[in-house]
Structure 1
């Protein structure tokens, strides 16, 4: 029997969610997204839970985006809008969790994985971690305005455009210098560093931490404009559909801009 794609364990006031598809670099399926949503519900409904920790199985990735198979049946730009709305439901629910949330990142944290890490309150990462959304050279799609807002909020406009236009992957050191990563550690010290941060959070006043989280969340979301027209145009493009078909065969895409 195959191992579960998502592991959820509670221990000593800490709820740990492990993305468990190491051979696929923990790429997210819809079942995993829904499982993450349910874990958020559990974190808020169980008075014993004081911290939520997210991590990836294996050493190669935190989460390497959404599984490309989720895009195979897209036929129009409206499918892209519906997809981004589904993702926003999960990502926003994680951002809404009452208790502090910590992403423990090793390896690739890209695409949807970067979105998940971005809504966590703190990110602990190894020096070998890699952060980015390289869609300009892979699928030719775009982000929702909610996800653009997250990147701009954390990295600023200049770093966001550098990451997206050049399809760059930021190193752990770069992410830390940008303030995105709260604590950087050696590759063999991630669990120790994460445990140290968690113990600090367990000792602090829950309502003070909740107030800080809630205030930051409200400020960020208050400035998000509508962007469905952007998503509709890009997900409905010939470039996107060609790139999705080419991804499985590793064929290069001749971008047309339409």
Structure 2
């Protein structure tokens, strides 16, 4: 990992902190690679039940990709970059455990993409969301990234945000369902949420995530492997016994 990306495991929670507060946590190539490595770490460690994404400093979650890295771009490099971003978003969206984005301040461009592929988003009252590239860089988003945003925000709001280059405030994000809570006490809200998630059945939560991911991909959807994995698991069998015995189940993720 890099100093610009902090990864900390506390109990069953793995927290990834984007740590460039002076640059509003704008992402470097190394940070994107480190995030993918963190995803691999989560998926190979059965003790991790929840992944959290945060921005350092309180002023921003992530304010996009560091613009200095776009120097010397041409069309071919632009295609490569958008493919790279799509790969990062796809990997983050496929993490086996719930991913929570705790958003304070600006969540812009690539930061909005990262937040969008998290499973649950909470934000501070001062949070602002947008992709103002129509008035800043004059670049574009891939259809893959547009699809993610439109799936959450709706086609009309996605078009509005991109074409007007405006910032969506926290209460609007709450009203349209993009975030589930606007928290004055971010640490307290986050602790309560992650504690709840960490104590739920891992395979059930994985099935929810994987099913929604496949629905987003479109036609030809198969789910037999998901259902078979969950219903054939040790967790399901022991939970049934525990329910009948009026006991609380203990989850192993197997």
Q: TM-score if structure 1 supplies the norm length?
A: 0.83
SS across alignment from 2:134? coil
How many Å separate the matches in 2 of 1:175 and 1:51? 23
Instruction: Give the corresponding residue for 2:166.
Output: 168
- Structure 1 Cα separation of the partners of residues 211 and 51 of structure 2: 19
Q: Deviations over 1:212-250 (max 9, x none)?
A: 101111111227xxxxxxxxxxxxxxxxxxxxxxxxxxx
Aligned equivalent of 1:57: 56
Q: The residue matched to 1:180 in structure 2 has which SS?
A: coil
Per-residue CA deviations over 1:31-56 (Å, capped at 9, x if unaligned) read 00000000000000011100000000
CA distance in 2, matches of 1:38, 1:73: 27
Structure 2 unmatched ranges of 5 or more: 220-254
Which residue of structure 1 aligns with residue 247 of structure 2?
none
The answer on 1:32 being equivalent to 2:34 is: no
1:82 paired residue number = 80
CA–CA distance in structure 1, aligned partners of residues 55 and 153 of structure 2: 23
Q: Give 1:99 shift.
A: 0.2
Identify which of structures 1 and 2 has the higher relative contact order when contacts are C-alpha pairs closer than 8 Å and 6+ apart.
1
Aligned residue for 1:55, secondary structure, equals strand
Question: C-alpha offsets along residues 2-52 of structure 1, whole Å, 9 cap, x if unaligned?
Answer: x81000010110000000000000000000000000000000001110000
TM-score normalised by length of structure 2: 0.84
**After superposition, what is the alpha-carbon deviation per residue over 1:85-116, rounded to whole angstroms, capped at 9, x for unaligned?**
11111111000000000000000000000000
Q: Given the alignment of the two structures, is residue 155 of structure 1 paired with residue 144 of structure 2, yes or no? A: no
Look up the SS of the partner of 2:166 in the other structure: coil
1:246-257 equivalence runs, <5 A:
none
Secondary structure in structure 1 of the residue aligned to 2:27: coil
SS of equivalent residue, structure 1 residue 135: helix
The residue aligned with 1:115 is 113
Match of 2:232 in 1: none
Match of 1:137 in 2: 135
Stretches of structure 1 that go unaligned for 5 or more consecutive residues are: 224-258
Equivalent-residue separation in structure 1 for 2:160 and 2:93 (angstroms):
25
Give the equivalent residue in structure 2 for 1:104. 102
Which of 195, 199, 204 lines up with 1:203 in the alignment? 199
1:136 Cα deviation (Å)?
Answer: 0.6
Show the counterpart of 2:178.
Answer: 180
Aligned residues: 218
Q: How does 1:172-251 map to 2 (within 5 A)?
A: 172-186=170-184, 189-222=185-218
**CA RMSD in angstroms, aligned pairs only:** 1.0
Could you report, residue by residue, the CA deviation over 1:50-96 in whole angstroms, capped at 9, with x for unpaired residues? 00000000011000000001110202x12111001111111110000
**2:202, 2:35 → 1: CA distance?**
22
